[in-house]
Amino acid sequence: MAFILKRSVIVITLLLIISNLSFSADSYDYSKIAPHPRLLMSKADEAAVKKVLKSNEQLSDVHDLIITKSDEMLSKETLTYKKTGKRLLAVSREALERVFYLSYSYRMTKNKKYLKRAELEMNAVCQFQDWNPTHYLDVGEMTMAVAIGYDWLFDKLQESTKLNIRKAIQKNAFETSKVEAYNNYKRVGNNWNQVCNAGVVYGALATFESNPTVSKEIIEEMLITNRISMASYAPDGVYPEGHMYWGYGTSFEVMLLAALESALGSDNGLSQSPGFLKSAEFMLFVTSPSGKRFNFSDSGVSQNANIVQFWFAKKTNNPNLLLEENKSMQAGTFLKTIDESRLLPSVMVFAKDINITNISAPTQQVWSGKGATPLVMVRSDWKNKTGEYLGVKGGSASTSHAHMDAGSFVYDVDGLRWAMDFGMQSYITLESKGVDLWGKGQDSQRWDVFRLSNKAHNTLTVNNKRHNYEGYAELIETIDLPTEKGGKFDLSEIFKGEISSAIRKVVLKNKTLLVEDEIATNEKEALIRWKMATPATVKILDNSTIELTQKGKTKILKVTSNFPFELKTWNSEDPGTDYDQKNPGTIMIGFESQVPANQKAKFVVTVGSLK
């Protein structure tokens, strides 16, 4: 396995050993914990938000939406315990949205109708039999919900309500977080660590006075275990799980860091973890000029506004990170396309001190990052939707939420996506059909799912076999020249045992996509399959040329090689199982080549305009 993965395992192991040691000293002076409200928005912050609303039209629109949504909540049925499959998550998320919005609305207006409704919702969820600790994300989000309400409305809540909340947090969060069967989130480096740690710590900060010993233990342990997930951003800011889970995991990470700062004065250095602050740049480049996103791993293609980019912009003193958010605000789409919209009131806190009226687009065209999921992204234009865009990734199928897509790429030009990624399929649609979606290893049923397999991605397949689950595709060169921009990846471990080596170079060159694959076979011959998914209409013109057309635009795919090959197309609209999602209007194109033993083959594919 590649060094980067081995290093991550060593770091995580050391952190786990340390986390099992007793704490010799407090990381904070807990005697100086801020008074209520202490989470995110103090009384001084509240006054500042009210002041900025008088002059900031964009934030005023956000404020008005929160008030409107809060009014709509007043006539809804109170939340009830209802699981969907193994998850209570939808209820927990609804609770977080309702309590957060209602608490904000009360603080801004002092209208008691919001206070009463927030209190009603919190009492309701605190009477639940549990918060579903077998799927601990549900506990994390539910705990954050009642913690915010408890803290923000502390002086106005009935004593019986506050007692109910403290008992529920103690029983459903503090106690279950100590149960090994439930607390695996402390030992993983993905979004579970961030969401669950954030929720439980919110509970500890909100109810600190009632149980300081337990609260301190929770916070101190989090300061160690949360670094496991923070290590995922190293060294350059790539979020291994893709942009969608950056929106989830990083949003809750920021909520955690902001709460520590507001309640205890600092985040104890967590925000300075290598790569973390740079991950905001990753999110800036993950969107193409056409508005589509590089949707590797379990992610969708749609572009959404990110609430916590405002926090990053403030933290790094770089409002330019808000380029896409500002565009959506100006276009009137921001409030319709928000990731993690239940956290929307936090925008009022994060954005109150930011001037976003004069934002500049980057001049940088190439962004690359190494780590668990190395990638290169190229964006030729920051102003026009017709510019070129390339995203290429390496990494491993063993990463959280990964697909077997090492070496895969997306390509946009003329405002259209020509080489696409099918993206994720809803978990519930697969789990409801009995698919074991979360199994690990080479033989996991996860890789039978079309959209997750190597056969559905813009990469190579050798001898019709799955990629090596433990294999790692390393970024070996970032190319940023006047004539070509992209990257080169070593895919050799992905095909371990089938071929000796595979080097893939993917660049934009002279307004053309260029994909070069250099393959060395071992003592046996190898069937090489090259595939690319596209929404275009396809026509094979001759033995080496394919015509692609969509929306009045035409591109030509051309193949050259030192070995014979056969152009092919594969059906992608209907994968043919009862659990796979259909993909209407798509097709996979490419070629196959039988390369003899102990040979070096080179395949060059170009996708460009008619000459």
CATH number, domain of 203, equals: 1.50.10.100
- 471-493 tens-digit pLDDT: 999 999 999 999 999 999 999 99
Range of the domain at 483: 366-608
First vs last C-alpha separation in the chain: 44
Helix (H) or strand (E) holding 360: none
* pLDDT value, residue 305: 81
89-109 helix and 43-52 helix, angle to the nearest 10 degrees? 80
- 451-464 tens-digit pLDDT: 999 999 999 999 99
Please check whether residue 359 lies inside any domain of the structure: no
Please check whether residue 37 lies inside any domain of the structure: no
Please check whether residue 13 lies inside any domain of the structure: no
Q: What is the mean pLDDT of residues 166-193?
A: 97
* pLDDT over 50 (residue 138): yes
φ/ψ of residue 176, rounded to 5: -70, -25
- What is the Cα–Cα distance from 55 to 52, expressed in whole angstroms? 6
Residues 339 and 395 in one domain: no
Please check whether residue 8 lies inside any domain of the structure: no
* pLDDT over 50 (residue 16): no
Are the CB atoms for 579 and 597 separated by under 8 Å? no
- What is the Cα–Cα distance from 291 to 543, expressed in whole angstroms? 34
Query: Based on the structure, what is the number of domains in the chain?
Result: 2
Q: How far is CA 566 from the centre of its chain?
A: 38
The percent of residues above 70 in pLDDT, for the chain, comes to 96
Residues 273 and 323 in one domain: yes
- What is the Cα–Cα distance from 227 to 223, expressed in whole angstroms? 7
* pLDDT value, residue 108: 98
- 278-306 tens-digit pLDDT: 999 999 999 999 989 999 999 999 878 88
Of the three residues 284, 316, 350, the one that is the final residue of a domain is: 350
Residues 174 and 293 in one domain: yes
Residues 320 and 428 in one domain: no
Residues 339 and 375 in one domain: no
Residues 229 and 345 in one domain: yes
Task: Name the pLDDT band for 611 (thresholds 50, 70, 90).
Answer: low
Residues 165 and 211 in one domain: yes
Residues 252 and 379 in one domain: no
Please check whether residue 95 lies inside any domain of the structure: yes
Please check whether residue 418 lies inside any domain of the structure: yes
Please check whether residue 202 lies inside any domain of the structure: yes
Q: What is the mean pLDDT of residues 51-64?
A: 92
- 539-580 tens-digit pLDDT: 999 999 999 999 999 999 999 999 999 999 999 999 999 999
Residues 396 and 325 in one domain: no
Q: What is the mean pLDDT of residues 302-311?
A: 88
Residues 345 and 385 in one domain: no
Residues 143 and 245 in one domain: yes
Of the three residues 350, 382, 402, the one that is the final residue of a domain is: 350
> Which CATH number covers residue 387?
2.70.98.70
Please check whether residue 35 lies inside any domain of the structure: no
Residues 377 and 345 in one domain: no
Of the three residues 318, 350, 382, the one that is the final residue of a domain is: 350
Are the CB atoms for 273 and 219 separated by under 8 Å? no
Q: What is the mean pLDDT of residues 237-244?
A: 93
